[in-house]
Structure 1
Amino acid sequence: MSERLKKGYLQWRCRRGTKELDVILIRFMDNHYEQMSDDELLDFDRLLDNQDTLLWDWFCGHLVPENKNDKHLVHKINPKLADKV
């Protein structure tokens, strides 16, 4: 596993500067990291490259990610959105 996929690195990337996103992303990491495949961890790392405002809009259901991997992760992070798209 590369350094980019290690839990400490991803947890550090989950600290966004807004309490709401920090709570959502860190809770997701705490609950799902151990079960995620290397591919899912790479996708999660890429998801974290997005702007905070875009992540927030995705997690709130205001926007839907175009990328299928982002969409999968957003639904995994907030399962209530799966019904909306």
Structure 2
Amino acid sequence: MKIITKIALVATAITMPFMSSADVVSSSEQGFQIKIEQPYEGTADSGYQRFVNDINQWWLDDHTWFGDAEKLSIDATAWRLFLRNRR
């Protein structure tokens, strides 16, 4: 699975509790892409850090195989590589 697909799936999971509707941007036999907008008052960096480091704050325990969102983690390798290449 491509990293963009993984990021899109995680982003969808984050916004699910707040989501009232989503627009289907595209669809095919391989999958679909949706657009969800949610206001955020912080900086992009603080939002990203919260997304990566505080999974248990936005992921529901009962949406895991083991019933505990505290055990989830995100390997943000693509983001680290992106930041390293920007320098």
The question of a shared fold, defined as TM-score above 0.5 by the shorter chain, is answered with no
Length-normalised TM-score, structure 1 = 0.28
Length-normalised TM-score, structure 2 = 0.28
Structure showing greater relative contact order (alpha-carbon pairs closer than 8 Å, 6 or more residues apart): 1
Larger radius of gyration: 2
More helix by share: 1
More strand by share: 2
